[in-house]
Structure 1
Amino acid sequence: MSKLKTITMEWTGDSLILVDQRYLPLEETYVTCKNYKEVAVAIKDMIVRGAPAIGASAAFGYVLGVKEFINTENFDEKMKEVKDTLANTRPTAVNLFWALDRMEKKLNEIKNEENLIELIEKEALDIAYEDIEANKAMGRFGGELLNDGDTVLTHCNAGALATVDYGTALGVIRGARELGKDIKVYADETRPYLQGARLTVWELYKDGFDVTLISDNMAGWVMKQGKINAVVVGADRIAANGDVANKIGTYSVALLAKEHGIPFYVAAPLSTIDLNTPTGNEIPIEERSHKEVRYCHKSKMVPEEIKVYNPAFDVTPNELVTAIITEKGVVRPPYSENLKKLFEK
């Protein structure tokens, strides 16, 4: 019997089973990772995606590394290799590094314990279950910000599939409904990987929400028509000053929201807030394969000689962010002061 099973992942004790998000919603297939290298590939190839889900997956990958090398003479050296391999998969989402640092710290604390494997496995499970509870808390806090009858625009996928379960931005929408509010949603396609079209719409439709899919370049016109009351997105890293790194296209949505007087909310757990990164200028932005832009559903759209630029994320300046929703409450400007206070509670 599994110790964790959600829409995104299942931990059996010996392997991590992930829904392959590259093929949703047309095909529901699963990838079984039996060692840390397979988890690293799953993260890098976006079989699993979304900052909190990446962090939890890396934690379970770390456990698989411990199990593989526990009886080797060079255990410490091997575990450094495990951590580095997992850390080098995707550079922007800070939850990845947060989870790995937490797992390494725990391992150092319990290194001489007889039940080391049981304790390190518990730490990974704690990370996963804490993520679910954090998302539900964000849903309660964020749900209060939305009004009955509101229509929300969201970008990318910050739902159950981007987390261990429930979701950050979609968790806010779910939280509002649990408060008895009727919420409609517009979802951007989120090119070039189409997380909004493939994942967000699928999640919300399955949950019975009134959801409408639009292409990214329709967002401004939909706002101009008065159809959007609020924007809610997730985040892959939030700098100490409140600058927000999120899926490419988020910055454009934030500018449009500002122009049309629409509140722009970011929902993210504390593990996404990086107080060691002063501003968004210091956040590393992952650039992904040209093939994601050059091809669409395996069909080539432009010849190989055409140059392609494919940053996976952009940074939204803090002055465009109305509020940041966390599991400890809603944070408003000045973010440099108020984000720091969250960690002092």
Structure 2
Amino acid sequence: MADQYGRPGDGARRGRTPAIRWDEPPEGPVLVLLDQTRLPAEEAELVCADAASLVEAILTLAVRGAPLLGLAGAYGVALAAARGADVDEAADALAAARPTAVNLARGVRLAQAAYRAALSGGTTATGGTGGPGAPGGSPVGAGDRAGAARAALAAARALHARDADASAAMARHGLALLDELLPGGRHRVLTHCNTGALVSGGEGTAFAVALAAHREGRLRRLWVDETRPLWQGARLTAYEAARHGMPYTLLTDSAAGSLFAAGEVDAVLIGADRIAADGSVANKVGSYPLAVLARYHHVPFVVVAPVTTIDLDTPSGASIEVEQRSGHEVTEVRMPHTAAGAGGGVPVAPLGTQAYNPAFDVTPPELVTAVVTEMGAVSPVTAPAIAGLCARSRQVTIS
């Protein structure tokens, strides 16, 4: 299990605890996470000294959100390598921890590829796709496990930097799209789950767009879905909005329809855990109903995610594996840090009640107004448009 990490990190001393950071105390390298299950009550850090503790942190949602899971996966491989553990075994465990979030497996495999390339005498993979010969690498002798561990860490750090850059670009593109869709500014935006700095190496995905609008004086109201059953909106998005001084209002998920009917929503902004080749979007459960409401009420429904969240190997929404979580999250009211197992919360249903608890749902592309990535926005959302985004991303990476 991950333990609380007592001393504050650099981010804490600056007034903001980073969602993820690498540290090297005397007892050996560790990955330090802001424990999101304890927000907003306290900013507590968890230290993960091995891949097993990181897997546990992922499963309990101490670390979550597609881009951040990619970083956690990459750093987890680097941690296993630095600690002398079985890197391939650690990589497989990490990649399988949350199957819907494609970024997790991609981050894992990127760092694993860098490790293997360095171990076999190739070059470190600090850029590009993480394969041998990537720009910025340095030769590492065959069998040099310490050098291979450094290569894995360099790949994780490079991914971290790219994710921060992507976040800033998505904010710019997303705000430009909002201004195009909604001339006149003063946007009233509805969001679901949490898509801010807690899920990113930067300021987030969908939340970063709303934050950019706020900084430009063009955000009238951020409507925050509480996002049951684990309240990522109430606990995390409201927490981030409050820290930035944004005008926000929290609502129950079931109240969204009345907001649309009253004409109080100008646009919906959500993130994504996986975007299929046809443009289908898997995101936190409750996203699909918002897309249906938005279509009926002629409100733009915009998905904001980095290109790394697009999975061309997943042909359609029907091919996306949707994670099923414990029914106790539905039948009991509990704080998320007690989410593992039964008996940690207050029962709200009769003993033995079966619960349906998918972590995600899938929105078909015809309900998505636009997909915004660091490479720009596409609308309408079609398979050729999604493929074009990925092609442009590869060209930029290679150049």
Shorter-chain TM-score range: over 0.9
1:182 and 1:340 map into 2 onto residues whose CA distance is 32
Unaligned 5+ runs, structure 1: 71-77
Of 170-179 and 82-91, deviating more is 170-179
Unaligned 5+ runs, structure 2: 1-7, 122-139, 142-146, 180-184, 335-344, 393-399
Whether 2:51 is the aligned partner of 1:36: answer: yes
Measured after TM superposition, the shift of residue 42 of structure 1 is 0.7
Q: Deviation per CA, 1:81-140: give whole Å up to 9, x if none.
A: 111111121110000111112112212221131533322211101111111110110000
Out of 238, 242, 255, the position equivalent to 1:205 is: 242
Whether 2:128 is the aligned partner of 1:91: answer: no
1:130 and 1:253 map into 2 onto residues whose CA distance is 30
Out of 58, 73, 78, the position equivalent to 1:58 is: 73
Measured after TM superposition, the shift of residue 145 of structure 1 is 2.0
Secondary structure at 2:52 match in 1 = helix
Measured after TM superposition, the shift of residue 335 of structure 1 is 1.9
Q: Deviation per CA, 1:218-254: give whole Å up to 9, x if none.
A: 1011011111100000000000000000000000000
Give, as a single letter, the amino acid of the residue that structure 1 aligns with 2:93.
T
Whether 2:244 is the aligned partner of 1:229: answer: no
Out of 164, 167, 176, the position equivalent to 1:135 is: 167
Aligned position for 2:23: 12
Aligned position for 1:291: 328
TM-score (norm 1): 0.94
Give, as a single letter, the amino acid of the residue that structure 2 aligns with 1:142.
G
Whether the 8 Å contact between 1:150 and 1:229 is mirrored in structure 2 is yes
Aligned position for 2:279: 242
Of 170-179 and 290-299, deviating more is 170-179
Out of 315, 318, 343, the position equivalent to 2:362 is: 315
Measured after TM superposition, the shift of residue 299 of structure 1 is 1.0
RMSD over aligned Cα, in angstroms? Answer: 1.7
Measured after TM superposition, the shift of residue 16 of structure 1 is 1.1
Measured after TM superposition, the shift of residue 3 of structure 1 is 9.2
Measured after TM superposition, the shift of residue 261 of structure 1 is 0.3
Whether the 8 Å contact between 2:366 and 2:381 is mirrored in structure 1 is no
Whether the 8 Å contact between 1:234 and 1:266 is mirrored in structure 2 is yes
Measured after TM superposition, the shift of residue 178 of structure 1 is 4.0
Measured after TM superposition, the shift of residue 27 of structure 1 is 2.2
Secondary structure at 1:62 match in 2 = helix
Whether the 8 Å contact between 1:7 and 1:165 is mirrored in structure 2 is no
Secondary structure at 1:127 match in 2 = helix
Secondary structure at 1:212 match in 2 = strand
Aligned position for 2:84: 69
Of 247-256 and 4-13, deviating more is 4-13
2:361 and 2:232 map into 1 onto residues whose CA distance is 16
2:199 and 2:152 map into 1 onto residues whose CA distance is 24
Of 253-262 and 2-11, deviating more is 2-11
Between the two proteins, the alignment pairs up a number of residues equal to 338
2:18 and 2:226 map into 1 onto residues whose CA distance is 21
1:201 and 1:242 map into 2 onto residues whose CA distance is 29
Identity of aligned residues (%): 40
Of 232-241 and 4-13, deviating more is 4-13
The equivalences for 1:189-204 within 5 A come to 189-204=226-241
1:337 and 1:68 map into 2 onto residues whose CA distance is 44
Give, as a single letter, the amino acid of the residue that structure 1 aligns with 2:258.
W
Q: Which has the higher contact order (CA 8 A, sep 6+)?
A: 1
Measured after TM superposition, the shift of residue 142 of structure 1 is 0.1
Whether 2:386 is the aligned partner of 1:339: answer: yes
